[in-house]
Chain A
Amino acid sequence: MSNEATLHSQQEVMHGAAAHGHGHDDHEHHHEGGFISKYVFSMDHKTIAKQFLITGILWAIVGAFFSVLFRLQLGFPDTSFPWLESILGHWAKGGHISPEAYYALVTMHGTILVFFVLTAGLSGTFSNLLIPLQVGARDMASPFMNMLSYWFFFMASCVMMCSLFVQTGPASGGWTSYPPLSALGDASIGSKIGMDLWLTSMALFVVSQLLGGLNYISTILNMRTKGMSMTKLPLTIWSFFFTAVLGVLSFPVLLSGFILLLFDRHAGTSFYLSELFVAGKALSNEGGSAILYQHLFWFLGHPEVYIIILPAMGMVSEILAVNARKPIFGYLAMVGSMFAIAILAFLVWAHHMFVTGLNPFLGAFFVLLTLLIAVPSAIKVFNWITTIWRGNIRFTPGMLFSIGFVSTFISGGLTGIWLGNSSIDIHLHDTYFVIAHFHIVMGVSAFFGTFAGVYHWFPKMFGRYLNNTLSYIHFWITLLGAYLIFWPMHYEGMAGMPRRYYDYSNWESFKQFGDLNHFISIVVIIVFAAQLMFVFNFFYSIFKGRKLTTTNPWSSTTLEWTTPINPGHGNWPGEIPEVYRWPYDYSKDGVDFIPQTVPLSKDEEAAGGH
Chain B
Amino acid sequence: MQAMSVQRNKIHPHKYSLWIAMGSITMMFIGFTSAYVVKRAQANWFTFQLPMIFWISTAIILSSSFTVQMAVKQFRNRHMQRYKQLITLTAVLGVAFAVCQWIGFMQMNAMGLPLNGPASVSFIYVIVSVHLLHVLGGVVALLIMFGRAFRTRVRTYSPVPIEVAATYWHFVDALWIYLLIFLSIAR
Chain A residues with a Cβ under 8 A of chain B: 1-6, 10, 13-14, 17-18, 21-22, 137-139, 141-142, 145, 210, 213-215, 217-219, 221-226, 248-257, 259-260, 263, 267-271, 287-289, 292, 295-296, 299, 570, 572-576
Contacts and interface: CB of A to CB of B under 8 A. Distances in A.
Interface residues of B, number: 44
B4 interface: yes
B32 A248 contact: no
Query: 9 nearest interchain CB pairs?
Result: A268-B116, A252-B28, A256-B31, A141-B13, A253-B31, A574-B2, A218-B16, A269-B122, A252-B27
A253 B38 CA distance: 14
A2 B6 contact: yes
A263 B13 contact: no
B85 interface: no
B14 A5 contact: yes
Contacts of A222: 9-11, 13, 16
Contact of A292 (B1, B5, B38, B160): B38
Interface of B: 1-14, 16-17, 20-21, 23-25, 27-32, 34-35, 38-39, 42, 44, 46, 115-116, 118-119, 122-123, 126, 130, 158, 160
Nearest to B114: A268
7 contacts: A3-B9, A6-B6, A248-B23, A269-B122, A296-B35, A572-B4, A574-B3
Given A17-B2, A222-B13, A250-B27, A287 B118 contact: yes
A271 B119 CA distance: 6
A248 B116 contact: no
Contacts of B20: 213-214, 217-218, 248
Contacts of A251: 24
Contacts of A268: 115-116
A414 to B, nearest CB: 32
Contacts of A250: 27
A142 B42 CA distance: 45
Interface of A is mostly: helix
B13 A269 contact: no
A252 B34 CA distance: 13
A210 B5 contact: no
B17 to A, nearest CB: 5
Contact of A253 (B5, B30, B130): B30
Nearest to A291: B38
Contact of B1 (A1, A18, A137, A263): A18
A295 B35 contact: yes
Contact of A210 (B4, B24, B118, B130): B24
A340 B88 CA distance: 47
Contacts of A17: 1-4
B27 A292 contact: no
